[in-house]
A and B are shown apart, each in its own frame.
Chain A
């Protein structure tokens, strides 16, 4: 496995945007991988392993994020990270249910 970067684009799906709880979910997943994780939004690039960095993206619903993963487990990490962003939408569900 080489150390090429995997680049994935994903749109923030949930109503409340990338606030503290979703940012926490994202970082928890990112920290499980060895690869370096970066997120860019409109030219702004931050670390995907720092909740403070991720929150300062101030990404609202509909914002397109680019996730850049570099390292030995980049492929699986990128899949997992895209998946976790998609799961933010379930947050909205949960608020409706409870």
Chain B
């Protein structure tokens, strides 16, 4: 038995087998190119930069959706770094005037920054060397043609042992089998530490070079409270820690018990908290967090990273799995929401304004064969549980009617073929475009529910693409215009007597919870990990107080002031946490 001491950065205890992750950093040798190849090499660099920017964007979206905006912001900074003019100039100069290969130019330029940050005395700023390593590794992987996403997958319950893990590797961790993380370097400020904590994975960093002595499959204990890593523990130690793991389990159960309590305000208003999911396995997280259902089941994953389009059976299989796992709770399946930033295949020429282009329901109504397959699968799955269908980005009544017509055609087909489906399948739209808010009284006569998708609604209301660094700061969920539109949507839904839920990042951010309740929302669909926190707020406030807050906000015309007021109220609610 050996014990290594490191820095405890994320609490918890795990006992599992070691999985040693080799530092597969490609080795860069100093090589030169001929004058004739300079242009080709510059092109190679440019396309590698573009590809890496795309990868970072994808990581940002993934992490922001799962863990919240503040974690996604890590990658927003990385994106800014890749686009940095100075960096690009220095890389281009190295290739053009010194005839370095793109790989060597990258490793030279980044080495300077990495060395600089490794020597900074402030420990938090010193961690930034890791950001540069992450981007360098991505670039070299692309240039070397290596597997861009080093997926940390484990076949058995494992503890990852690595020299260091980049934020991108953290984002791609296998959530099922990886039970803990140990790294040789790093400190409490490293992004890996922050992400490990958000994922509730015990983590010990800064253990030093000892980890080379650990072999894959060796039994390990990681103690995330004390910062200890115990290699080949003896029976007694295992027994002691097993007790702690058991205690941990009990605490989790207690927490789960708390999570089973309803989200009711102190004056008796019930708030329905549902979850947004993308992958079928996330149903477990919904149940664990006490979600009342799946308010938004995204289906894009069926299309992304596939060579061929999914069949009706592919759709049916994943839907029925989630329906089974959710044990009768309501599930809202959103039809394909691709296009703009998420493109399937590349047969489609690039658009000048992708966010105003052929995306979501527009794309589905154009590819009706594919759309029919999805709708048929949803109809067939509708008998297995409490299923509704939701169309994204509907901007006109005509679109809704077209989609509904397809749906009733398919119902007739199924009837003729004597295949079971739920004739009363509830149909809703995602309200993400100002036009649908304005026309909502009409929409309400033809649908059963709406879900307000705040991410796109903010974008289209303010005409700001939040992925565009030049204007991203103008993107603000607190903008009074956005709040007015949300209020209009809620009021129209109530008047039209249809269901209204809010999904999108605004719903999962505790800063907005009181305001949203005050505006009349009684149903929110959020990322599963946000549910306990939002529930805690619901159980601490009165709807009356929330209404007063919403009334005050209605008189304000400045987004920053509104946000400040909302923060202040949240702090008053939980003074101990501040």
Contacts and interface: CB of A to CB of B under 8 A. Distances in A.
A31 B469 contact: yes
B125 A58 contact: yes
Interface string A19-50: 11101110111011000000000000001011
A17 B122 contact: yes
Given A28-B469, A52-B84, A97 B73 contact: no
Contact of B86 (A31, A47, A60): A47
Interface residues of A, number: 31
B510 A17 contact: no
Nearest to B120: A58
A93 B70 CA distance: 12
B76 interface: yes
Given A52-B81, A96-B578, A97-B510, A24 B73 contact: yes
B128 interface: yes
Contacts of A21: 73-74, 76-77
Interface string B102-130: 00000000000100110010101101100
B555 interface: no
A52 B83 CA distance: 10
B554 interface: no
Nearest to B530: A98
Interface residues of B, number: 38
Contacts of A49: 85
Interface in A49-69: 49-53, 55-56, 58, 60
Contacts of B510: 97-98
Contact of B125 (A25, A29, A60, A97): A60
B113 A20 contact: no
B74 A98 contact: no
B128 A55 contact: yes
B125 A19 contact: yes
Contacts of B84: 50-52
Given A16-B189, A52-B81, A32 B73 contact: no
B396 interface: no
Contacts of B117: 55, 58
A20 B577 contact: no
A5 to B, nearest CB: 21
A50 B70 contact: no
Contacts of A94: 70
A62 to B, nearest CB: 11
Contacts of A97: 510-511, 567, 570-571, 577-578
Main secondary structure of the interface of B (DSSP, over half): helix
B122 A20 contact: no
Nearest to B79: A24
A51 B86 CA distance: 9
Given A21-B74, A24-B77, A98 B68 contact: yes
B87 A52 contact: yes
Contacts of B68: 98
Given A52-B81, A96-B578, A97-B567, A20 B70 contact: no
B74 to A, nearest CB: 7
Contacts of B511: 97
Contacts of A51: 77, 80-81, 84
B470 interface: yes
B113 A56 contact: yes
B131 interface: yes
Interface string B498-519: 0000000000011100000000
Main secondary structure of the interface of A (DSSP, over half): helix
Q: Which of B76, B77, B80 has the most CB of A within 10 A?
A: B80
Interface string B451-487: 0000000000000000001111100000000000000
A30 to B, nearest CB: 11
Contacts of A47: 86
Contacts of A52: 81, 84, 86-87, 113
B473 A29 contact: yes
A20 B87 contact: no
Contacts of B125: 17-19, 58, 60
B128 A19 contact: yes
Given A49-B85, A52-B113, A98-B510, A23 B77 contact: yes
Contacts of A56: 113, 116
A60 B122 contact: yes
Q: Which of B76, B87, B125 has the most CB of A within 10 A?
A: B125
A56 B113 CA distance: 8
Contacts of B128: 19-20, 55
Interface string A83-98: 0000000100111111
Contacts of A96: 577-578
A57 B33 CA distance: 34
Contacts of A24: 73, 76-77, 80
Q: Which of A17, A18, A52, A95 has the most CB of B within 10 A?
A: A52
A33 to B, nearest CB: 10
B80 A28 contact: yes
Interface in B66-102: 68, 70, 73-74, 76-78, 80-81, 84-87
Contacts of B116: 56
A47 B124 CA distance: 22
Q: Which 10 A-B pairs have the closest CB atoms?
A: A24-B77, A20-B77, A50-B86, A51-B80, A60-B122, A58-B120, A24-B80, A52-B84, A16-B124, A21-B73
Given A28-B80, A53-B86, A58-B122, 8 more contacts: A19-B125, A19-B189, A20-B131, A21-B73, A23-B80, A50-B87, A52-B86, A98-B68
20 contacts: A19-B125, A19-B189, A21-B76, A21-B77, A24-B77, A25-B473, A28-B469, A28-B473, A31-B470, A47-B86, A49-B85, A50-B87, A52-B81, A53-B86, A56-B116, A58-B117, A90-B567, A93-B567, A97-B571, A98-B70
